[in-house]
Structure 1
Amino acid sequence: MWPRDSSFTAAAYARTGHVDDALRVLDFLRSVQEPDGSFHARYLPDASGVPDDRGIQSDGNGWALWAAWTVLDEIDAPGARDDARERLAPLVDASTEHVLALLDDDTDLPPPSSDYWEVHPTDLTLGTAAPLLAGLEGAMAFYRDGERWDRAAGAASAAMRLRSAIEDRFGSQGYPRAVSGGAQDAATTFALPPFQPTALSGAEDAWRSSVMSMLRPAGGVAPGAGWRTDGVSWTPQTALFALAGASIGEEEAAESWLDWLGTHRTASGAIPEKVLADGSPAAVAPLTWSSSLVVLTLVELEDRRIEAAAEAAAPAP
């Protein structure tokens, strides 16, 4: 059980009306959370511990906070919303406190950590910094919703400082994977909606420019331009490009990525983790992260179609 994948699963459940399922996923996250509020890379599904020594990965806190707000925001009934907020509060409080403790007083940035590349960190990556920003933005909204103004102010201040630091240190270089510079990776999507309330400065251009450097022979993308040149496309990163496109109004691009994902499913219809250079599916299937991203993209596209239809039907002023 990966906190990263689980957070996206909870968001997809909530966005499709399955709030109870979403809350159960986040309950599990809280049940395995470390005493200091952090998360390991992954946990055994019976909550008995971790399966290996991959260690702490701080992006899990960002994704958990983003998911918690996404779930709460889908609940309209006041009583049910209050109950869900109370249920999520321990996860949100512990995660927020941990993220706040990570930010350096001088740079306003967190320390390096493994991210979705699952490699030992040598430098801070956008794949760590941007999810933590998404988490702080989610925490701020969560606390405002519950009128916990002191905590909301703390999260808002930290989010503002972290956003400015990311725009300065990463954005000034075109949002590369590492704060020290170099090639871009799929974390350019993390600097865009739906993960951020508004796109970070220059992030849309960075997202567009990153595609060509990451394309692989079968038509999907690698985790990053600096990834090994093995010809393999990865469905989570391809689906991230679809969701980013849908969220910023690039609907044709989003639909094109979805078409590719649909074409490269397994014989049973599942989305695999990888697609080989010859177009055949490989590795884990189904992969929850990819499946959740597809669902979130479809919901975003449907919401945009509904909004467009409503605007078209509205009487002229």
Structure 2
Amino acid sequence: IVQGQDVLVRHYVFENLGPDKISFKFLYFASLHLDSHGAGNAVLYYPNSDALVHYRHGYAFCIGGTLPTAGYQCGNALHDASDGHLSGSPNSLDSQGCLVWDIDKLEGYQTREMTVFVTPGHRIEAALTALERARQTGHRMLFRQTLDWWVQFWGTDEPSDDGLYRRSLSVCRLLTDGETGAVIAAPEIDEHYTKCGGYGYCWPRDGVIVAYAMGRAGYHDFSARFYHWCLVAQAENGSWLQRYDAAGFLGPSWGHQIDETGSVLWGMWQHYLQTGDNGFLQNIWPALVRGADYLCDNIDPKTNLPAPSFDLWEERVGEHAYSAAAVAAGLKGAVITAARLGQSGAAVRWEQTIGTVEEGISDSLWSEERGYFLRTVRKKVSHDEYCGCINAGQEAGVTEDAKGYRGYFVQADDVVDASLLGLVYPYGILPPDDPRVKKTVAAIEARLTSPGVGGIKRYENDNYIGGNPWIITTLWLALYHIAAGNRDEAAYHLKWVQEHQTELGYLSEQVCRDSGIPNWVIPLTWSHAMYILTVVEMREKGWL
């Protein structure tokens, strides 16, 4: 993919490995569902360009090569492509199209080359023009332009022997919308939501970690574009909701997560600390005010914690330690921003709420009996679970909303969870040497280390995709140990991640607990961002 140009380059080299002359066919099939729609797609063959054009609404994709084709087919092309004989149908109200080339009389031990270009445009004419421009430029020059762009992007300040670091920078850049600044979690692997809720969206929480990592690595323009996108995506009530498309429109959602709003406010302040850009503070101030007021309006007076919402794993509703840390850190950033802009009067309530939430973390979440922080209190449960808790003598309760619908909760969820590390990193609500933190980390290491393969699981009895160790949680523990000054422990977890990258240098979401093979989503921007942060933090300590 050539940066700054509308072209995908696929260059092919056919090599005859034997002594005899051979002839064969090369087919290029495509079925494009443009704008995420299976209906309304169409495909045309353009003889003057010897190319297919797939189009729908305001999108067109042109596919053509450097050698003359021997045939084409629009519509129902997969079936006919299987026998190599295309019908020559010039148009179809279908998503499928295919081109075929005859590779004739390839001499023994010789090679022949050709390039296929895929060129997009908002109109068919633009896509066709891009194709002709790519043909004229040629794959060698386009490759040279691409390499030069990435060399300039990487610069010379990264560890030269760490290809995973450079790959991580590249992944974060490639999964960022060049126009809007939105950072998607991963290339979509489950567009029909058969195994999960889909990954091809921008979660503000994930985006903040990516922006923070890229800023720490020196890519401040990247972070600035992301926070510009945040201004577009913010809801009228001041919150940032679960996830959005790249344009900032709310994506399919199954529940609000209050930590997203807190993390955005924290991230905005971190961007200022990295850049000293006063104009940035002025620009975000109205959004920051709405966001901070929203957080203050959503504190549970019974616990002094943020009101019930989904946790960062998007699996349970309650009042969570990680959410509390994000909210307190976000409000701290807002208070300091207000002071910097001479608006301290607006921040009195925010500062009071910080104290309230910090008090809630200590009073409502610390369990002296268990010896670690609770991940959640007032966790929503079913009626049957509620009855079971009551029968077992556990503290539980009932809520009722304005419409009379009843809900049920259990007061304490004592499952050990790696997200408790968020109390220290990145939000800094508690110091790494706090005795309660050290006991919590010891519980995480003892209960969440995956037997055999190693790595850190999300939480006890996790059953998502088999309950595997995750890259982000393993690096999260490394980042805690960096903050605590534990060099050997941090290096151990960093090495584990390096040993579980793919052959191409990508980091997955998970690692199979049985085989140790990278598993599920590949690549995940959050994983790569955590790797960048771990490397940067260790370099700053002189450990790398």
User: What TM bracket, shorter-length normalisation?
Assistant: 0.7 to 0.9
Return structure 1 stretches of 4+ with deviation > 4 angstroms.
none
| Cα distance, 1:194–1:127 mapped onto 2, change above 3 Å | closer
Residue 208, structure 1, aligned to residue 470, structure 2: no
Q: Specify which of 332, 338, 341 is matched with residue 146 of structure 1.
A: 341
- 1:15–1:71 CA contact under 8 A, matched in 2: no
Note the alpha carbon deviations across 1:24-52, whole angstroms, 9 max, x for none. 111112211111112221111232331x2
Structure 1 residue 295 corresponds to structure 2 residue 495? no
2:280 is the alignment partner of 1:110:
no
- Matched residue SS, 2:306: coil
CA distance in 1 between partners of 2:348 and 2:483 (Å): 27
Matches of 2:511 and 2:472, distance apart in 1: 11
Residue type at the aligned position of 1:251: R
231 and 110 in structure 1: CA distance in 2 versus 1, 3 angstrom threshold = closer
In structure 2, the CA distance between the partners of 1:181 and 1:149, relative to structure 1 (3 Å rule), is same
- Return the alpha-carbon distance in structure 2 between the equivalents of residues 127 and 227 of structure 1: 17
* Structure 1 residues 234-313: aligned runs within 5 Å: 234-277=470-513, 278-305=515-542
CA contact (8 A) 2:322 2:423 kept: no
Give distance in 1, aligned partners of 2:349 and 2:538.
34
Question: What SS does the aligned partner of 1:305 have?
Answer: coil
SS of alignment partner, residue 457 of structure 2: coil
Q: Give yes or no for the alignment of 1:166 onto 2:368.
A: no
Q: Tell me, in whole angstroms, the C-alpha distance in 1 between the residues paired with 2:374 and 2:241.
A: 25
Match runs of 1:35-50 below 5 Å = 35-50=236-251
Partner deviation per Cα, 1:193-214 (whole Å, 9 max, x = no partner): 4311542852232123212211
Name the Cα RMSD after superposition: 2.0
Equivalent residue in structure 2 for 1:176, among 343, 352, 374: 374
- Cα pair 2:255 2:309 within 8 Å, conserved: no
State the shift of 1:231 in Å.
4.7
What is the aligned partner in structure 1 of residue 255 from structure 2? 55
TM-score, length-normalised on structure 2? 0.52
CA contact (8 A) 1:59 1:127 kept: yes
Q: Name the structure where strand makes up a greater proportion of residues.
A: 2
Separation of aligned partners in 1, 2:427 and 2:278: 24
On the 8 A contact 1:192/1:204 being kept in 2, the answer is no
Greater helix fraction, Structure 1 or Structure 2 = 1
- Three-state SS of the structure 2 residue aligned to 1:227 is coil
**Which residue does 1:227 correspond to in 2?**
462
CA distance in 2, matches of 1:302, 1:151: 39
Name the residue aligned to 2:220. Answer: 19
Residue 124 of structure 1 aligns to a residue whose secondary structure is: strand
- Matches of 1:15 and 1:57 in 2, distance apart? 26
| Higher RCO (C-alpha under 8 Å, 6+ residues apart) | 1
Aligned length: 300
Match of 2:20 in 1: none
- Partner residue of 1:85? 281
Which residue identity lines up with residue 189 of structure 1 in the other structure?
L
Contact map agreement 1:112 1:128 (CA 8 A) in 2: no
Q: Structure 1: which 5+ residue stretches go unaligned?
A: 307-317
1:268 match: secondary structure: coil
SS of the aligned residue for 1:169 comes to helix
Unmatched tracts of structure 2, length 5 or more? 1-201, 378-411
Aligned-partner residue type, residue 422 of structure 2? F
Amino acid at match of 1:15: R
Does the residue aligned with 2:505 lie in a helix, a strand or coil?
coil
